[in-house]
Amino acid sequence: SPTLVYIDIEVRSMGPISEVEMSYSMDCYFRQSWIDRRLAFTGSMATLALSISMLERIWRPDTYFYNGEYSYLHTITSPNKFMRLHQNGKVLYSSRLTIKADCPMNLENFPMDMQRCPLRIGSFAYSTMNVVYKWNPVRRVVIHPDMKMSQFDLIDTPSGNMTDRLRHSLFSVLVASFHLQRHMGYFLIEVYAPCTMLVVLSWVSFWINREATADRVALGVTTVLTMTFLGLESRNDLPRVSYCTALDYYVAISFFFVFATIAEFAIVHCYTKVGSGEYVPQAKPEDDDSLTDEWESEEEVEEPVNDNPECFSSLDNFPRDSSFAQHMVHRSLGRNGPQNGRMVQRVPPRRRFTLQQKVSIHLNSVSKIDKISRGIFPLSFLIINLIYWYTYLGPDDSS
């Protein structure tokens, strides 16, 4: 009959767990026990603690890890292994190992994902006709109570037996699965919170006057570039998979809202031009109290003194108190009299209207599109967030 080899594992620590390499490491006590009738003995001692050099002189199973990448035995300060022999020939062989094994990961729900990392144990050369592996009925996979991981929680460790066909023979295989639930705290701080703050920051442009083109464009371009940097940075710790993760979807949603803010301003700026519907030129009367008149200062115009007496004799026909006569004298002689033989005429101040005064433009600095966007953008972002978080954190129907 085949030799029965019983296995049990005590996990001391786990990590690092790499998404890029899709692998995990763990430090454990790996124990194997089997019965070899040739080693049975009688005496006063129930068990014998043998030197590890005896392992080279007796038969032992050639156990290895099917999905192992790199494993080694701790040798400080001496090889961390021991061997005990019972009277009935039962051999207990224990060693401390660090195992690095493959862990195929599905990152569609990253970083709200749960990974199932297997460990497959079997014989390298002995088929089921010679060696059969079984889990220790007393304990199978034991987790040390002090074990903690920075990014994961170990929530379950199911185990089982199976047979695998290799090299045209059946081999006995033990399978242990480590179910790891990822912590989201790191990603909330590093990705989700900055993305949300950038989206909210982009909405500030809705409260900036639409004439401030440089300010609104600078704000929009800055938020787009920052979102691009966050999106690229979030992918550094992930393998180059062909599908989108949950984190990629959130970054894409945030990028869409930031980009939509710039597109919204482009529409607002298009309707800001004169004659396109936002500015309505309206002519108003010149004597409107709302207009601010610009007055020119009095201009001094030098005119030659009219020495022709006929010019003044024509005024004798009018009474001296006549307003017309006073007006003509006033125009002819000037208010201050002659200066250096020349008469200085004071021209009455003239009213000059600029184009803005002649045609009053009805300016509305706050666009109706901006007012609508102040409510639509936050509301739609909130609804999409509710759908997003319910999708990935809601009840899992797949199980």
Whole-number Cα distances in Å, 161 to 154, 184, 210: 21, 34, 70
Put simply, whether the predicted model's pTM sits higher than 0.75 gets the answer no
What pLDDT is attached to residue 366?
A: 75
pLDDT tens-digit readout, 306-359: 455 444 444 445 455 555 445 554 555 444 445 454 544 554 555 454 544 444
CATH no., domain 3-183 = 2.70.170.10
Please compute the mean of the pLDDT values over residues 283-303 and round it to a whole number: 46
What pLDDT is attached to residue 273?
A: 57
Residue 126: which of 164, 158, 93, 96 has the closest Cα? Answer: 164
Q: Which carries the bigger pLDDT value, residue 313 or residue 93?
A: 93
What pLDDT is attached to residue 192?
A: 94
Q: Per DSSP, what are the bridge partners of residue 29?
A: 10, 96
Distance CA(147)–CA(139), nearest Å, equals 18
Average pLDDT over the chain reads: 81
What pLDDT is attached to residue 121?
A: 96
The CATH fold assigned to 186-276+367-393 is Methane Monooxygenase Hydroxylase; Chain G, domain 1 (1.20.58)
| CATH 2.70.170.10 domain position(s) in the chain | 3-183
Residue 220: which of 250, 264, 267 has the closest Cα? Answer: 264
What pLDDT is attached to residue 15?
A: 87
Tokens, residue 94: 């224990």
pLDDT tens-digit readout, 212-230: 888 889 999 999 999 999 8
Question: Do residues 279 and 362 make contact, with C-beta atoms less than 8 angstroms apart?
Answer: yes
**pLDDT at residue 131 above 80?**
yes
Angle at the Cα of 252 from the Cα atoms of 394 and 225, rounded to 5 degrees: 140
Query: CB neighbours of 397 closer than 8 A, spacing ≥ 6?
Result: none
**pLDDT at residue 162 above 80?**
yes
pLDDT tens-digit readout, 229-279: 988 888 887 888 888 999 999 999 999 999 999 999 988 888 765 544 444
| CATH 1.20.58.390 domain position(s) in the chain | 186-276+367-393
Beta strands in 36-125 (DSSP E): 47-50, 63-65, 68-73, 81-86, 90-102, 114-123
pLDDT tens-digit readout, 10-68: 999 998 999 989 999 999 999 999 999 999 999 888 899 988 888 889 999 999 999 99
251: buried, middle or exposed (CB in 10 Å: 19+, 13-18, 0-12)?
buried
Q: Which carries the bigger pLDDT value, residue 311 or residue 163?
A: 163
Question: Do residues 161 and 133 make contact, with C-beta atoms less than 8 angstroms apart?
Answer: yes
397: buried, middle or exposed (CB in 10 Å: 19+, 13-18, 0-12)?
exposed
Tokens, residue 243: 């599908």
Distance CA(171)–CA(378), nearest Å, equals 60
Confidence of residue 117 (pLDDT cuts 50, 70, 90): very high
